[in-house]
């Protein structure tokens, strides 16, 4: 399951794990003009883990999910 909200400066997507146990914490994706952030609560450290990608990195990640093993360079 996921939700999408459009805020003033970002689109926010929340991914909810509804799979089999053990379930993972929700993942929040915030898409800004110049960066995309992924955040997830880590109960082991009692902190939120955050990853920031450029739009180009997100494009490459999206493409990589649908490609076979190998080394690729995306077109500019």
Instruction: Record the pTM.
Output: 0.82
Judged against a pLDDT cut of 70, whether residue 76 lies above it is answered with no
User: Which pLDDT does position 17 carry in this prediction?
Assistant: 92
Task: Name which of 30, 61, 34 is nearest 48 in CA terms.
Answer: 30
Judged against a pLDDT cut of 90, whether residue 68 lies above it is answered with no
CB atoms within 10 A of CB 27: 17
CB atoms within 10 A of CB 73: 6
Residues paired with residue 51 on neighbouring β-strands, in sequence order = 38
């Amino acid at each position: 399951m996921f939700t999408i909200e459009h805020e003033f400066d970002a689109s926010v997507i929340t991914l909810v794990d509804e799979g089999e146990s053990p379930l993972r914490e929700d993942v929040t994706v915030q898409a800004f003009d110049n960066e995309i952030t992924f955040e997830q609560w880590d109960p082991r450290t009692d902190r939120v883990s955050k990853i920031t990608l450029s739009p180009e990195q997100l494009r490459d990640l999206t493409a990589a999910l649908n490609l076979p093993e190998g080394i690729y360079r995306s077109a500019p």
